[in-house]
């Protein structure tokens, strides 16, 4: 057992139900596309896209075609050579943390948090602090508190908007203020933007951090905001090419390079962010209408802050004396649905992460209504 890699909470919790065939209701991505549906949405067949693909190794930093698509369709101030591709966002995160951080560095992350965002720097020996989003104020981020950490020597601030697990986001004014604050204190800003693309209205979409800040790093992926987890492609965008070179060296210990097939498909599919969003939002917005019915989880009262972005919520448990893990286990055993309890998200706030982006969401609502 290698103690440098303690098991992640979500993996451990899911593993405890192996063999029970639970229906995932904790997911953060919209209902994945089928191949046929995706071909219809973008108006091209996989056979056509792949007919000329070279099946050698892809370049370590990603194919030119994919990096160009990302630069053209997902960024306005970031060139193809400032973008690197990976086997998912997870690999991009692992590589960027390893390239940037040293033992003892001070890292600040927003919580509740997708655990790897906090666990990878902890594994590297960093001093990691969290700042809780305020569940009493629409999951807002207090920039005055952030500044206190910056004053105390924070090297890296990690954000994730649209946010997993709460569905929170920033206003444009808050986003601009945060960038100014990072610039003032010279803090690196790692922005996990994997849910970009599923904002419920276009006006809720924030600029990318890579486009906005010279020490900003944006991580994106095709699996979450675009609902195609079967193509395993994520990316990192940032203006610091020295850092990208180091990131590439770390990637040399992992996948080295992506599959040419995945990269060729992603290079085409990601040319149509609006069409993908349209299909995903049709499901999300329909299910969102049912969120007001999410008042109980196995008889326990919950409160849901209706989000403006993404397709997961953090249902707050009213009775804070109850163990969220035991309720989530009850849900699994009584209804066959898997939801995630708050102890998996490194937070003091009690509740459950529940995804509302899939076709099974109404079944879950019906199974939990008192």
Smallest separation, CB 92 to ligand PLP (Å): 8
Burial of 21 (0-12, 13-18, 19+ CB in 10 A): exposed
Query: What's the min distance (Å) between Cβ of 160 and ligand PLP?
Result: 5
User: CA 65, 69, 70, 76: dihedral to nearest 10 degrees?
Assistant: 130
Contact in structure between 315 and 345 (CB atoms under 8 Å): no
**Is residue 164 a contact residue for ligand PLP (CB under 6 A)?**
yes
Site for ligand PLP (CB under 6 A): which residue of 71, 85, 130, 160?
160
Q: How far apart are CA 221 and CA 87, in angstroms?
A: 9
Q: Pick the binder of ligand PLP from 194, 209, 281, 309 (CB under 6 A).
A: 194
Smallest gap from Cβ 195 to ligand PLP, in A, equals 7
Q: Among the candidate windows 103-111, 202-210, 219-227, 296-304, which touches ligand PLP by CB under 6 A?
A: 219-227
The count of residues interacting with ligand PLP (CB under 6 A) is 13
Q: Which of 70, 109, 120, 221 binds ligand PLP (CB under 6 A)?
A: 221
Q: Contacting ligand PLP (CB under 6 A), which of 22, 28, 276, 311? A: 28
Q: Which of 89, 96, 131, 236 binds ligand PLP (CB under 6 A)?
A: 89
Whether 340 contacts 330, CB under 8 Å: no
Q: Is 193 in the site for ligand PLP (CB under 6 A)?
A: no
Candidates 85, 90, 191, 347: give the one binding ligand PLP (CB under 6 A): 90
Cis peptide before 203 (omega within 30 of 0): no
Please report, for residues 34, 136, 365, the alpha-carbon distance to residue 22 in angstroms, rounded to integers and kept in the order given.
Answer: 21, 32, 15
Task: Report the SS3 class of residue 261.
Answer: helix
Comparing every residue's Cβ against ligand PLP, the nearest one is: 88
Question: Contact between 280 and ligand PLP (CB under 6 A)?
Answer: no
Centre a 10 Å sphere on the Cβ of residue 76 and count the other Cβ atoms it contains.
11
CA end-to-end span of the chain, whole Å? 44
Closer residue to ligand PLP (CB): 89 or 217:
89
Cα–Cα distance, 84 to 305 (Å, whole number): 35
Between 236 and 349, name the residue whose CB sits nearer to ligand PLP: 236
Closest contact distance (angstroms) between CB of 275 and ligand PLP is: 20
Q: With binding defined as CB under 6 A, does residue 223 bind ligand PLP? A: yes
What's the CA angle centered on 148, arms 144 and 151, to 5 degrees? Answer: 130
Cis peptide before 165 (omega within 30 of 0): yes
Of 22, 33, 84, 88, which lies in the binding site for ligand PLP, with binding defined by CB under 6 A?
Answer: 88
Compute the Cα dihedral for 83, 85, 89, 95 and give only its sign: negative
Look up tokens 């990637």; give the residue.
251
Choices 98-106, 221-229, 242-250, 350-358; region in contact with ligand PLP by CB under 6 A:
221-229
234 touching ligand PLP, by CB under 6 A: yes
Give contact residues for ligand PLP (rule: CB under 6 A). 28, 88-90, 114, 160, 164, 192, 194, 221, 223-224, 234
């Amino acid at each position: 057992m290698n103690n440098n890699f303690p098991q992640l909470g979500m993996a451990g919790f899911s593993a405890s139900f192996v063999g029970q065939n639970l229906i995932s209701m904790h997911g953060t991505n919209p209902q994945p596309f089928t191949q046929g549906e995706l071909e219809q949405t973008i108006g091209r067949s996989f056979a056509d896209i792949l007919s000329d693909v070279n099946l050698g190794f892809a370049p370590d930093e990603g194919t030119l075609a994919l990096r160009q698509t990302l630069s053209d369709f997902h960024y306005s101030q970031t060139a193809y050579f400032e973008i690197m591709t990976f086997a998912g966002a997870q690999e991009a995160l692992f590589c960027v943390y390893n390239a940037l951080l040293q033992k003892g560095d001070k890292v600040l992350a927003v919580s509740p948090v997708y655990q790897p965002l906090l666990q990878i720097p902890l594994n590297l020996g960093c001093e990691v602090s969290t700042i809780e989003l305020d569940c009493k104020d629409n999951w807002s981020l207090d920039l005055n508190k952030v500044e206190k950490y910056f004053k105390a020597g924070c090297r890296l601030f990690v954000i994730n908007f649209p946010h997993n697990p709460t569905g929170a986001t920033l206003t444009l004014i808050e986003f601009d203020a945060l960038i100014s604050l990072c610039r003032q204190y010279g803090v690196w800003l790692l922005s996990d933007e994997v849910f970009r693309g599923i904002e419920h209205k276009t006006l809720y979409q924030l600029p990318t951090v890579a486009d906005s800040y010279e020490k900003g790093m944006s991580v994106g992926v095709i699996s979450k905001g675009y609902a195609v987890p079967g193509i395993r492609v994520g990316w990192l965008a940032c203006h610091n090419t020295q850092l990208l070179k180091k990131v590439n060296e770390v990637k040399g210990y992992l996948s080295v390079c992506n599959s040419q097939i995945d990269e060729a498909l992603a290079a085409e599919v990601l040319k149509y962010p609006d069409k993908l969003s349209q299909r995903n939002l049709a499901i999300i917005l329909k299910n969102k209408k049912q969120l007001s019915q999410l008042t109980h989880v196995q008889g326990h009262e919950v409160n849901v802050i209706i989000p403006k972005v993404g397709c997961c919520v953090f249902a707050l448990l009213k009775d804070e004396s109850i163990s969220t893990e035991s309720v989530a286990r009850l849900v699994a055993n009584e209804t066959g649905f898997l939801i995630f309890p708050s102890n998996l998200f490194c937070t003091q706030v009690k509740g459950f992460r529940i995804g509302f982006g899939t076709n099974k969401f109404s079944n879950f609502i019906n199974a939990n209504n008192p």
